[in-house]
Amino acid sequence: MALNFPFKKSSSGFSDSHDKPSSDNEFFEAINLFKTQRLKIGISLETLSKETKISRNVLIAIENGWKKYLPEKTYLISMIKSLELNLNLEKGSLNGLSIQKDSMNNVSRFKLNFINIDFLNSWIGSLLYFIIMLLSILALNSQQKYLIKINSISTEPIKMEKTFIGDGNVINRAKEN
């Protein structure tokens, strides 16, 4: 006797690759709906950005379908709701924009990028920072040893002699050998 649970995925032999065209299709439909409704109302990206308080770059990324430049799903959902209100769209009509993040999970989250400020917060960044600090200390130490070796600097302290002036003030002078 087979039990059917409503929350369990059905194993009908279809893989996730068959679901991707559907999600991509919904994504592109949402983009087209966004473009056409914005042009139908006659609102520019600048004014839409000011009204919704969504950055112009995110609106450009939505309009051009640049999945790479869209924010995280959490922020995107609230942005979608705001856009639907301002563009007089049905509730949930732009939800296809939030599906795009599922297809990008295969990409590595961490990229070595000099613009990426979170690099130092990762374990790789901490390790690299530690190695750089250790190497710089060793380099300074070897430089000091070299300077001592060629008698460029002295490790002996400078001896001072005190000279008293008639009114009781003290003047420190380097002692001449």
Q: Secondary structure of the chain in the HEC alphabet?
A: CCCCCCCCCCCCCCCHHHCHHHHHHHHHHHHHHHHHHHHHHCCCHHHHHHHHCCCHHHHHHHHHCCHHHCCCHHHHHHHHHHHHHHCCCCCCCCHHHCCHHHHCCCCCCCCCCCCCHHHHHCHHHHHHHHHHHHHHHHHHHHHHHHHHHCCCCCCCCCCEEEEECCCCCEEEEECCC
Q: Are residues 98 and 76 in the same domain?
A: yes
What are 164's two structure tokens? 């008293």
Neighbours of 98 (CB within 10 A): 19
Report how far apart the first and last C-alpha atoms of the chain are (Å, whole number).
105
**Average pLDDT taken over every residue of the chain:** 77
Has residue 70 been placed in a domain?
A: yes
**pLDDT class of 164 with cuts at 50, 70, 90:** low
| Whole-prediction pTM | 0.46
Q: Which domain holds residue 73?
A: 19-103
Higher per-residue confidence, 12 vs 121: 121
Residues 37-61, mean pLDDT to the nearest whole number: 90
Higher per-residue confidence, 118 vs 56: 56
pLDDT at 101 over 70: no
Q: Are residues 136 and 64 in the same domain?
A: no
Higher per-residue confidence, 170 vs 14: 170
pLDDT at 172 over 50: yes
Residues 102-127, mean pLDDT to the nearest whole number: 64
pLDDT at 143 over 90: yes
Q: Are residues 92 and 130 in the same domain?
A: no
Q: Are 122 and 110 in contact (CB under 8 A)?
A: yes
Neighbours of 75 (CB within 10 A): 12
Per-residue pLDDT, 141? 95
pLDDT at 145 over 70: yes
Neighbours of 94 (CB within 10 A): 25
Per-residue pLDDT, 132? 96
Q: Give percent of the chain with pLDDT exceeding 70.
A: 67
Number of domains making up the chain: 2
Has residue 134 been placed in a domain?
A: yes
Higher per-residue confidence, 160 vs 18: 160
Residues 89-101, mean pLDDT to the nearest whole number: 78
What are 126's two structure tokens? 């901490």
Has residue 12 been placed in a domain?
A: no
Q: Angle at Cα 4 formed by Cα 15 and Cα 16, nearest 5°? A: 10
Q: Are residues 148 and 172 in the same domain?
A: yes
Q: Are residues 96 and 23 in the same domain?
A: yes
The Cα–Cα gap between 126 and 115 comes to 17
Per-residue pLDDT, 75? 87
Q: Are 76 and 61 in contact (CB under 8 A)?
A: no
Q: Give percent of the chain with pLDDT exceeding 90.
A: 14
| Residues pairing with 173 in the sheet | 161
Q: Are residues 92 and 132 in the same domain?
A: no
Residues 9-32, mean pLDDT to the nearest whole number: 63
